Amino acid sequence: ARWYIRMLGMKGPPEWPAGTGGAQVRYAGDTHEGVVFYFDKGKKGAAVRQFDGRNAFSLPAAKVRKIYQKLQRMHPERIVHDLQEINEETGLGVLLIAIITDPNGLEICLVSSEAFEPAVRAAADYVGPDYKARERLALDYAEKLARAKAQKPDFFGWATEL
């Protein structure tokens, strides 16, 4: 939790809860919204692997740049992907994206809120997934894959796909 405070500028309680073995952190001002991170000191650490998932923090662009520059200076090994600046002429401005890791290996995506949050709001339709369409697509894919496998020998590389 202290790394999140020192490196990412999150806020924690004035004192860590005595005897709990854990801590909470959040960005300042996040009293009712956002996510509070709770860290628990377990007996053994989690074996975090790449693609186990990542958390995304939407922050002002200036803060994303400041965190990235601090990591470049102090912990370049924590940078998974260099800072990207994407301007797709959407009128939302430049989107900054940086992928980093915390000391436990958990990946974190830092994005600039000025472009990210309006894009997310515009894309949200609040309609759930069409499970019937997903099922049709999955069955269609399975049929096409079965036909392709029937036409190719086993050593064609199918094992790597499954």
Cα gap 110→56, rounded to integer Å: 6
Q: Are 146 and 139 in contact (CB under 8 A)?
A: no
Which contiguous run of DSSP H or E holds residue 61?
Answer: helix 61-74
User: pLDDT 10s digit of each residue in the chain, 162 long?
Assistant: 788 888 888 877 655 555 556 677 777 654 545 667 777 766 676 677 766 778 888 999 999 999 999 999 999 999 999 999 998 777 788 899 999 999 888 899 999 999 998 888 888 888 888 899 999 999 999 999 888 888 876 665 555 554
Q: Where are the domains of the chain?
A: 1-44, 46-126
Q: Please report the pLDDT score of residue 47 as a whole number.
A: 73
- Indicate whether this model's pTM tops 0.75: no
The two three-digit tokens of residue 69, written as one number: 């520059």
Superfamily for 46-126? 2,3-Dihydroxybiphenyl 1,2-Dioxygenase, domain 1 (3.10.180.10)
Burial class (CB in 10 A: 0-12, 13-18, 19+), 93: middle
Q: Please report the pLDDT score of residue 75 as a whole number.
A: 95
44: DSSP letter: S
